[in-house]
Structure 1
Amino acid sequence: MSLPFIRFVGTRLFSTAVTLLLLTLFAFVGGQLLPGNVGRAILGPLADPRAIATLNHQLGADRPISVQYLDWLNRALHGDLGTSLVLNRPVASLLFSALARSLELAAFACAMVVPISIVVGIVAALRAGRVFDWASNLIGIALSVVPEFVWSIVLILTLGIWLHWFPIFADISPDTPFATRLHQLTLPALPLGFGLFGYLSRVTRTSTLQALQSHYTRTAVLKGLSWPAIICRHVLRNALPPAITVLGSQLGYLIGGLVTVEALFRYPGVGSLILQAAKTRDFPLLQGGVLVIGALYAIGSLLGDLIARRFDPHLNTETR
């Protein structure tokens, strides 16, 4: 492992730590700025003001916001995100269960889209300038530029309501059969995968074209190797690393899109949990959910940068 790469890792880890610290401040202050009162949210709108004041004092909600933030940060660093005001359950356990379902949805979207994207990109490069190349490039751009919530609405109206191919709400429980689970995950996974398909297929096409025009491919042709052997042994070996790099860099994007998609499809993940917390003024759950989503996005971006740096040798050389 080269010295420039080690320096890059250290710099990115430090910047990610600073980002996460700022994220905790944003999550806490954002929750505090929401209209409402902690004591009133627990006791109800008709509760006696003195009882509300007493409960706020017991919960420490009447302390200075800086003191509340430092106390919350200290507990968060130890894994304690508080207790949900509405569900009366530890926030960490609620978020852990919802996060597992969100990651299941993201993993299914990747498993469904990544192989297709790579194959389409390779075939487009092999047929460069032809109809398939033109059509796949146009489709990839169209899928990338349209936001997830627009595709979600279109898919709900067409595949869900009009054609009745998929349920419009992903009602998944732990005892849901595997085939039924995949059927219900398909519709919310498609909007997440559309943007990923656009980027991944185009990058794979570009890297495959570069590999086809390289000297080692020309040498393999002169040696008389068959095209399947050339593609498998030489082209794919050099064309896939850029695709892997793009996949890593899109992890943050994929996690960020979960919030919108889960809300529209009523999928019981972190996004739906955050929306529910915002509606019910459940401050601890809202703060914890924002913190988890932001942390996942930051970590996903970090992994993407590290993968890009690791697979691109040109980035690991000292610049003078």
Structure 2
Amino acid sequence: MLSIIRLILERLGLGVLVLFAVSLIIFLGVELLPGDLCQALQGQSATESTLAACRKELGLEQSAPTRYFHWLANIAQGDFGKSLANGREISELIGVRLANTFFLALVAAVIAVPLSLILGILAALYRNSWFDRSINVLTLASISFPEFFVAYILILVFSVQLGWFPSLSDVSPDTPLLERLHKVFLPALTLTLVVMAHMMRMTRAAIINLMASPYIEMAQFKGLSRSHIIIHHALPNAWAPIVNVVALNLAYLIVGVVIVEVVFVYPGLGQLIVDSVQKRDIPVVQACSIIFAATYVLLNLTADILSIATNPRLLHPK
């Protein structure tokens, strides 16, 4: 137990260092952008006095290190500042959008994770059969296409031709749950097709790798069925790599939704960051970027901890 606690503390410390490095990269990336932010906000007709007032209001007259540590200190307190586009609190803008992104990722995960595990187990159970080959071809084909291509194909089939689902996922906080599920089905299906291949193939590979183990051979000698051996003997010992790849793909479901949200005009964090880039709303872009980074780092740490917790031998590497 103490080893697990020490591991969690070590991983959390590493995560904080990674987030610090990512925040520095985000700030430097924005700092190195060409052009004058106040000039872009005020327009070509802006006078020197209005530009000076704008720079003073935004704190641009301060040195870059001072502005960075001030921004970092505010983020640590949950203060992301105000939007340059509309003057609203960024935390207020992000709140609803982040909840929408999490909801879309949750719906996609509810579809993708069980389906990937079931298909991976069946592919291992019927290894080298027509079913195994077909599933591998379909999943590899879906992951080979970019997200926007898969999204447009789904819109063409299910929205334009069949008319089953809307092409635009225009949800709001007042949208009922069933209607919300109906509207987010196509973007959730797009994300499912993108991430399902990783999880399915890892499940299949982990189980097949264990099928050559001595205890599996002993179970076969006892006359146990292949399905019983896979489900009750191989699968419990294959959880470490499976949990790891599932957690990593859940991270992708949250931070990789930008393209999908733009295609379906879904009011999530990805759509917000794209709109903010177009408006040169730098504080919102920085806030969205650091939230995406924190989510990805946290889920990566979770994957690392869960993979070790499901396989305690990793606590004592040789």
Whether the 8 Å CA contact 2:199–2:245 is kept in 1: the answer is: yes
Whether the 8 Å CA contact 2:147–2:190 is kept in 1: the answer is: yes
Whether the 8 Å CA contact 1:252–1:300 is kept in 2: the answer is: yes
2:85 is equivalent to residue 86 of structure 1: yes
2:288 is equivalent to residue 289 of structure 1: yes
Q: Distance in 1 between matches of 2:145 and 2:297?
A: 23
Query: Alpha carbons of 1:45 and 1:187: their partners in 2 closer, same or farther (altered >3 Å)?
Result: farther
Q: Distance in 1 between matches of 2:2 and 2:64?
A: 45
**Higher mean C-alpha deviation, range 221-230 or range 22-31:** 221-230
Q: Which TM-score applies when normalising by structure 2?
A: 0.88
SS of residue matched to 2:163: coil
Q: Which residue of 2 aligns with 1:148?
A: 147
The superposition leaves residues 59-111 of structure 1 with CA deviations (integer Å, 9 ceiling, x where unpaired) of: 32222222211211111111111001112211122222211111111111110
Whether the 8 Å CA contact 2:125–2:226 is kept in 1: the answer is: no
Whether the 8 Å CA contact 2:108–2:253 is kept in 1: the answer is: no
Q: Distance in 1 between matches of 2:37 and 2:80?
A: 15
**Higher mean C-alpha deviation, range 234-243 or range 12-21:** 234-243
What 5-or-longer segments of structure 2 have no aligned partner? none
Whether the 8 Å CA contact 1:101–1:269 is kept in 2: the answer is: yes
The superposition leaves residues 257-277 of structure 1 with CA deviations (integer Å, 9 ceiling, x where unpaired) of: 111211221111111111111
**Higher mean C-alpha deviation, range 171-180 or range 269-278:** 171-180
Whether the 8 Å CA contact 2:124–2:208 is kept in 1: the answer is: yes
Whether the 8 Å CA contact 2:202–2:241 is kept in 1: the answer is: yes
Whether the 8 Å CA contact 1:86–1:280 is kept in 2: the answer is: yes
Q: Which residue of 2 aligns with 1:202?
A: 201
Whether the 8 Å CA contact 1:32–1:283 is kept in 2: the answer is: no
Q: Distance in 2 between matches of 1:57 and 1:229?
A: 70
SS of residue matched to 1:250: helix
**Higher mean C-alpha deviation, range 308-317 or range 81-90:** 308-317
1:217 CA drift (Å): 4.1
SS of residue matched to 2:257: helix
CA RMSD, 1 decimal: 2.6
The superposition leaves residues 195-250 of structure 1 with CA deviations (integer Å, 9 ceiling, x where unpaired) of: 32101111211233344444444444555556665554334433444322210132
Query: Alpha carbons of 1:29 and 1:218: their partners in 2 closer, same or farther (altered >3 Å)?
Result: closer
Name the amino acid aligned to 2:128.
G
Q: Distance in 1 between matches of 2:225 and 2:72?
A: 61
Query: Alpha carbons of 1:35 and 1:268: their partners in 2 closer, same or farther (altered >3 Å)?
Result: farther
Aligned length: 318
Q: Which TM-score applies when normalising by structure 1?
A: 0.88
Q: Which residue of 2 aligns with 1:273?
A: 272
Q: Distance in 2 between matches of 1:254 and 1:167?
A: 21
Q: Distance in 1 between matches of 2:87 and 2:62?
A: 22
Q: Distance in 2 between matches of 1:203 and 1:56?
A: 52
Q: Which residue of 1 aligns with 2:106?
A: 107
1:290 CA drift (Å): 1.2
Name the amino acid aligned to 2:164.
W
Q: Distance in 2 between matches of 1:22 and 1:236?
A: 38
Q: Distance in 1 between matches of 2:147 and 2:173?
A: 26
Q: Distance in 2 between matches of 1:189 and 1:45?
A: 43
2:68 is equivalent to residue 69 of structure 1: yes
Q: Distance in 2 between matches of 1:297 and 1:227?
A: 38
The superposition leaves residues 122-159 of structure 1 with CA deviations (integer Å, 9 ceiling, x where unpaired) of: 11111112100111122222223333233223323333
1:186 CA drift (Å): 1.2
Instruction: List 4+ stretches of structure 1 deviating above 6 A.
Output: none
Name the amino acid aligned to 2:155.
I
1:318 CA drift (Å): 3.5
Q: Distance in 2 between matches of 1:166 and 1:26?
A: 40
Percent identity between matched residues is: 36
Q: Which residue of 2 aligns with 1:158?
A: 157
